[in-house]
Homo-oligomer: A and B are copies of this chain.
């Protein structure tokens, strides 16, 4: 009989739980209550697109010792039953009277002493995926047990990727690399941007994405206006810069990088901006080391851009990556998160060529003891031109 575990061998998950329990002890937490797709997948291997339905909450409780307990809607019992954990408690959701709250409260009071503290991720870049009214009711039902801040306990563990996780992210990056190679087949002068977005998603699927959780981009003369808008029907024109950005997913792990293409010959200011972004990325690849802080990486990138005579906007210049399209930390002047060996990050310098015309450039790396290792194939030093 094959080992009962999905995506990874059960040893991977057991190692994660031990690491979480070490952090919980450091933070004086008697349990963690997890509710998001990424945290549930991380601890159990439960992977489904069904999270797209906001109807039902899902819970995983990590006790101070022992294996996690899943408290989930019965529609998930079959899939969770194929995961490595054995204690799966279900209710028939959605239930307008009691949508799992009593079952969760019973579980928590059974696992946590009355004086105990139950951590939830509640800090920057976190959400609680359950109705607020149910959360308030839960707090009352588990009294005198208290809800406490479990953000650091979860983040300090999840942010260090195992070699098995790094291999998954590398595989997602390879899917996007292959799809970016094919962009000149379907993008060019006269093709509406919306068609380019569709064909790019098709290429990602054909190259091996399980699904495409994110595609964005932009196109405009000599740069684009923003990087988060959906595509419109405007045809690409000579002189446009086209940018495509993706979060393709394979086996639950994301890539997140973009590529730029010039429709026709690139203008001098586009070339200069692209060269500056390439040089800034070089600077980060050469000098980033474990022990630096996220804000140090921001400084490395922005100083390199300044040396090239270009100017970055106010946004972040990179972020964590893995089980979601973006993870903490954020490469901003304010983020003091320590960058450690095994972190997977994006390097995402951007410049403003002129008001309303920007250029962004993104690579995915894993931070090793001696510096960054690329997970995406490095973008070409010269922006590719799609001619004719």
A interface residues (Cβ-Cβ under 8 A, vs B): 36, 47-50, 52-56, 74-76, 78-79, 92, 94-97, 99, 120, 122-133, 135, 149, 151, 194, 197-198, 201-202, 205-206, 209-216, 225-231, 247, 314-316, 319, 324-328, 330, 332, 334-336, 356
Contacts and interface: CB of A to CB of B under 8 A. Distances in A.
B206 A198 contact: yes
Contacts of A216: 48-50
Give the number of copies in the complex. Answer: 2
Nearest to A199: B205
A375 B332 CA distance: 47
A74 B314 contact: yes
Contacts of A319: 55
Give the 10 A-B CB pairs with smallest separation, nearest first: A122-B132, A78-B226, A50-B228, A53-B326, A122-B133, A52-B214, A52-B325, A48-B228, A94-B330, A92-B314
A120 B97 contact: no
Contacts of A210: 194, 197-198, 230-231
A180 B211 CA distance: 18
Identify which of A48, A194, A226 gathers the most chain B CB atoms within 10 Å of its CB: A226
Given A94-B316, A127-B130, 16 more contacts: A48-B228, A49-B213, A49-B214, A53-B326, A54-B326, A76-B228, A94-B335, A96-B335, A97-B334, A120-B132, A124-B131, A127-B131, A198-B205, A201-B201, A201-B211, A212-B212
Contacts of A335: 94, 96
Contacts of A128: 127-128, 132
A271 to B, nearest CB: 24
Given A55-B326, A205-B201, A211-B212, A78 B225 contact: yes
Nearest to A356: B78
Contacts of A135: 132
Given A53-B326, A132-B128, A216-B50, A315 B228 contact: no
Contact of A79 (B127, B226, B327): B226
A228 to B, nearest CB: 4
Nearest to A207: B198
A340 B124 CA distance: 40
B55 A330 contact: yes
A359 to B, nearest CB: 15
Contacts of A326: 53-55
B127 A133 contact: no
Nearest to A125: B55
Given A130-B127, A131-B122, A325 B53 contact: yes
Contacts of A92: 314-315, 332
Contacts of A76: 228
20 contacts: A36-B54, A47-B230, A49-B216, A50-B216, A50-B228, A53-B326, A54-B326, A55-B319, A55-B328, A55-B330, A74-B315, A75-B227, A79-B226, A79-B228, A95-B334, A123-B133, A127-B129, A128-B128, A201-B205, A201-B211
